Amino acid sequence: MSKICETTLRVRYAETDQMKVAYNSNYLVWFEVGRVEMLRELGFSYLELEEDGFNLPVVEIKCRYKAPARYDDELVVRTRLAQMQTSLLRFQYDIVRKADGKLLSQGESVHLVVGRDMKRTHLPTKYRDALHAAAEEAQSATP
C-alpha cells in the first residue's frame, strides 16, 4: 500500500475550451478518478463499497488552480487520504503535468460515510482498516 496513489490520464479535446485549456470543472472529475483508483489500490472498489450498502458523498470540495492543463497533456493525479475520522474522510490531491512535473492544481475533498438510508454511519472493518493504514502512512510522511 502506498501513502500516495498516482493515476495517469490525458486531457481529452472534449475537456477543453476554444484555447485548448482544460475547463475548470474537469479537475473535480480528475480528483474523483484519483480517489476511486486509490480505493482500488487499497484493495477494494467503490462499486464493492456501494454493493455493501455504503456511499461516500462529497460534502466539501476545494480546488486551487496553479497553471493550465492543455489538450493532450498527460497528467498525474496524486491522491492521499489526509484524515480519517469515524464517518468522515478527507482526501488531498495534486495534479501535475507529467512531461515537466509542473504543479497544475491542488485540491481537497471531504466525504461522509452514509448507508443506503443516507444517514451517517461507520464503515465496516474491512474498509476501515485499509483506509486507516493509508491515513496513518500519509500523516507520517507529511513534514
| Residue 17 is among the residues annotated as catalytic for this protein | yes
CA 57 from centroid of its chain's CA atoms: 13
Helix (H) or strand (E) holding 85: strand 74-85
Nearest to 31 by CA among 86, 72, 69: 69
- Residues whose CB falls within 8 Å of the CB of residue 72, separated by 6 or more in sequence, listed in order: 10, 11, 13
Tell me 15's DSSP state.
Answer: G
How far CA 41 is from CA of 3, 37, 56, 117, 120, in Å, comes to: 10, 6, 17, 28, 25
- Active-site residue among 17, 72, 100, 129? 17
Q: What positions carry a catalytic annotation? A: 17
